Amino acid sequence: MSQFDSANLSRIIEMAWEDRTPFEAIEQLYGLNESAVIELMRRELKASSFRLWRARVSGRKTKHLQLRHPGISRGYCSTQYKMR
């Protein structure tokens, strides 16, 4: 996990917090499977923040491609990244 600079580490944490970004997207971009992301989050977040995050993502259909509705093909809300 030390192979990530602070910018990439921050982006991985951000993606893990996002509701619509599946773990598979993190794995494709950074090579971290779900268990590695959990380990990273446990190490990088405060204990209370980690518990909140785990409660939030546990069982969430949008965090796993196989559980998603087949009509959802994007990883984020269409209005999330508007250009200024």
Q: How far apart are the first and last CA of the chain?
A: 34
- What is residue 41's DSSP assignment? H
pLDDT at 77: 55
Stated pTM of the model: 0.73
- Give the pLDDT score at 71: 62
pLDDT bracket for residue 49 (50, 70, 90): very high
Domain boundaries, the chain: 6-67
Could you read off the pLDDT of 23-44 as tens digits, one per residue? 988 999 999 999 999 999 999 9
CB proximity list for 21: less than 8 A, separation 6 or greater? 15, 63, 75, 76
Angle at CA of residue 79, ends 38 and 65, nearest 5°? 40
The answer, yes or no, to whether residue 61 has pLDDT greater than 90, is no
